[in-house]
Structure 1
């Protein structure tokens, strides 16, 4: 039951994250660096504030495993800058699918190297369906839209960096939890330190933040709902299932983003895109079965 609740928590987090692309369209004049640093930075600092009593209580354990904390904080700092810049340079669809789509493979590699990952048939089938699904989502975008971006290659490279840092901070936070540190402490300390590292970026890029009420509303929403609440759910999920499973489940994010773009912004999705959505839902089913199978095997 705990694993199932963990899976549901990651699904909810992915749904919340999927709203960020549509939300950002309401403030087109804001720098992607500002949006990323403000959303992840403020959200992370709020998580840390909420977890201060736990962090103080477990400060000796956090100090003992300081290396994981530093790795996670640096990854948290880099991720939003790479992710939002990737979408600005190569387009929302390509930037999102490269960032989120590369993360499961990179996470599995990290966990395999650290001997924390056991491949199962269900996980392999699920990950394959999910990755194929996001590729189809990327190719479903209208070519005339894609051609307006002049730096697609750089955008894809930044997307891969985002995928790697996403996998890295998920793995490092999971390692802290496996060392006996509470979820609140592990996530709060990791994201709080990452948020502090993002403050200089906020200060350097934040001149347009107060130009309109809409700009402020968008940033407040993104900091409080997708980042703060979303990562609380994600942290709970990480305490119940492996980082690679959590990251694979989060392939739901680009599906939600595409659906919202269709319903709110008016973008269209082709038959190929819908087939990609179906494959991603198959991915969720297989990864869920894999987690339940692992639970039965370890019981």
Structure 2
């Protein structure tokens, strides 16, 4: 979900600070309005694609385990990401001990994240599992930035996050209890774990981008390393998934669209916004997941749950709609 001296990336959610002249930041759009719009929009596009994962996974064969789906998504998608990044990903790993350390730490979280995330959705339902994962990730991201970088968080970010997390809480408390039954508490716990891992590998990726590596190279390095573990997990557990053409189609979609394409968009967004802002923007994911879970999967959400969806949207608007005088 690195230089020895922490640095800040430009973000609409933090007070203005001098931007370090790093190659990754110099590639951002030069015009301030374009620079502001690009980062949040890229992250929101990635979040919308991620919101389709639970619904897509629901079409997998009944014999497919959530571990196999998670390992296939991030393992195969990670290999594609690494292949398209090419030598630039290897350059990340050769950029000294500090960069290698951040890459290995990020890869570890890349491995744990999908296994916990898809199991959380299997136990607690698509909407609840997604909401818990993404809803708690801004908290972990804020803690990482504050503890490691000493970054302060603006009132605007706090207001946006409170609104969005309140919406996520409403979704969890009023979600489809029939989806998971007695397994819901375990699903929620796994959702918290996957949210922490998501924030952690996002932070590690941001640290590597700040060193001057491109977002594609950074994502290729993290997910390429992660695939070294996830592909063997998929080989051991994926028989029920790829035993039918339907499972092959689900695997291909998850690996190429919400994994490869979405993480390329997310990595590009990380070059323009802070990790705490990015993880808050990805709260769009549970909104998409909840809508698709009801419309396609057949999960049931009551009035309070839809109120929660509305609060998440409000939080996103607070975070992304910048006042004209701030842009100027």
| 1:60 alignment counterpart | 94
| Residue from 73, 76, 79 that aligns with 2:107 | 73
Cα deviation 1:125-157 (Å, max 9, x = unaligned)? 0000010011111223244x15x5323332222
**Equivalence map 1:259-278=2 (5 Å):** 259-278=291-310
Q: 1:235-266 CA distances to partner (integer Å, 9 max, x unpaired)? A: 11111101111111101111101111222233
2:62 paired with 1:46: no
Determine the C-alpha separation between the residues in 2 that align with 1:268 and 1:95.
Answer: 14
Tell whether 2:253 aligns with 1:221.
yes
Whole-angstrom distance in 2 between the partners of 1:56 and 1:180: 14
Equivalent pair of 1:245/1:291 in contact (CA under 8 Å): no
* More displaced 10-residue stretch of structure 1: 269-278 or 26-35: 269-278
Change (3 A) 1:24 1:57: closer
Cα displacement (A) at 1:63: 5.2
Contact 2:93/2:221, CA 8 A, preserved across alignment? no
Q: Which residue of 2 aligns with 1:138?
A: 172
Cα distance in 2 between the residues matched to 1:295 and 1:39 = 38
- Aligned pair 1:91/2:125, yes or no? yes
Is the contact made by 2:126 and 2:290 (CA closer than 8 Å) also made in structure 1?
no
Answering whether residue 215 of structure 2 is matched by residue 183 of structure 1, we say: yes
CA deviation vs aligned residue, 1:151-171 (integer Å, no higher than 9, x gap): 333222211110110000000
Q: Which one has the bigger helix percentage?
A: 1
Counterpart position of 1:205: 237
Please tell me whether the aligned partners of residues 120 and 290 of structure 1 are also in contact (alpha carbons under 8 angstroms): no
Contact 1:32 1:88 in 2 (8 A): yes
Moved more, 88-97 or 126-135: 88-97
Larger deviation: 259-268 or 115-124? Answer: 259-268
Cα distance per residue 1:39-67 (max 9 Å; x no partner): 01111111111111323455532655111
Structure 1: stretches of 5+ with no match in the other structure: none
- The within-5 A match list for 1:1-299 is 1-27=34-60, 28-57=62-91, 60-61=94-95, 64-115=98-149, 117-143=151-177, 145-146=178-179, 148-289=180-321
Q: 1:38·1:223 contact (CA, 8 Å) conserved in 2?
A: yes
Aligned structure 1 segments of 4 or more residues deviating by more than 4 angstroms: 56-59, 289-296
Segments of structure 2 that go 5 or more residues without pairing to the other structure are 1-33
Rounded Cα–Cα distance in structure 1 between residues aligned with 2:242 and 2:183: 29
Alignment check: 8 A CA contact 2:176 2:299 kept: no
CA separation of 1:289/1:115 partners in 2, compared to 1, >3 Å: closer, same or farther? farther
Say which is worse superposed, 151-160 or 44-53, in terms of deviation.
151-160
Contact 1:91–1:149 (CA under 8 A) maintained in structure 2? no
**Alpha-carbon distance, 1:120 to partner:** 0.5
| Secondary structure class of the residue paired with 1:42 | helix
Which range moved further: 163-172 or 107-116?
Answer: 107-116
Length-normalised TM-score, structure 2: 0.84
Deviation for aligned residue 1:95: 1.9
1:197–1:292: structure 2 CA closer, same or farther, 3 Å change rule?
A: farther
Pair 1:100–1:293, CA change in 2 (3 A):
farther
- Other structure's SS at 1:50 match: helix
CA contact (8 A) 1:48 1:192 kept: yes
